[in-house]
Amino acid sequence: MRRVIETGKVPVKLWTNEVEPGAMEQIMNLANYPFAFHHIAIMPDCHEGFGMPIGGVMATRGVIVPNAVGVDIGCGMIAVKTSLAGIERKILETVTREIRSVIPLGFEHHKKSQDIKYMPDLPVADLPVVRREYESARHQVGTLGGGNHFIEIQQGNDGHLWVMIHSGSRNLGKQVADEYNRLAKALNKKENIKNTWEKQLAYLYTDSEEGQRYIREMEYCVAFAFANRSLMMDTVLGILDFMVKGPVEETDRVAIAHNFAALEKHFGQEIWVHRKGATPAFKGMRGIIPGSQGTESYIVMGKGNEESFSSCSHGAGRVLGRRQAVRHLNLQNEVERLEKKGIIHSIRRQKDLDEAPSAYKDIHRVIRLQEDLVDVLVELQPLAVVKG
What's the mean pLDDT in 341-369?
96
Cis peptide, bond prior to residue 247, ω within 30 of zero: yes
- In one-letter notation, the amino acid at residue 285 is M
Domain that holds residue 125: 3-319+360-387
- Write down the pLDDT at residue 197: 87
Asked if the structure places residue 351 within a domain, the reply is no
Asked if the structure places residue 136 within a domain, the reply is yes
* pTM of the entire predicted model: 0.97
Asked if the structure places residue 73 within a domain, the reply is yes
Asked if the structure places residue 272 within a domain, the reply is yes
Asked if the structure places residue 328 within a domain, the reply is no
Asked if the structure places residue 347 within a domain, the reply is no
Please name the residues in contact with 210: beta carbons below 8 A apart, sequence gap of 6 or more. 180, 183, 184, 187, 204
- Write down the pLDDT at residue 47: 96
Asked if the structure places residue 346 within a domain, the reply is no
Asked if the structure places residue 143 within a domain, the reply is yes
Q: In the annotation, is 258 catalytic?
A: no
Summarize pLDDT for 98-152 with one digit per residue, the tens: 999 999 999 999 999 999 999 999 999 999 999 999 999 999 999 999 999 999 9
- By CB neighbour count within 10 A (0-12 exposed, 13-18 middle, 19+ buried), where does 174 fall? middle
Which candidate in 38, 39, 166, 314 is catalytic?
Answer: 314
Q: What is the CATH number of the domain that holds 38?
A: 3.90.1860.10
Total domain count, the chain: 1
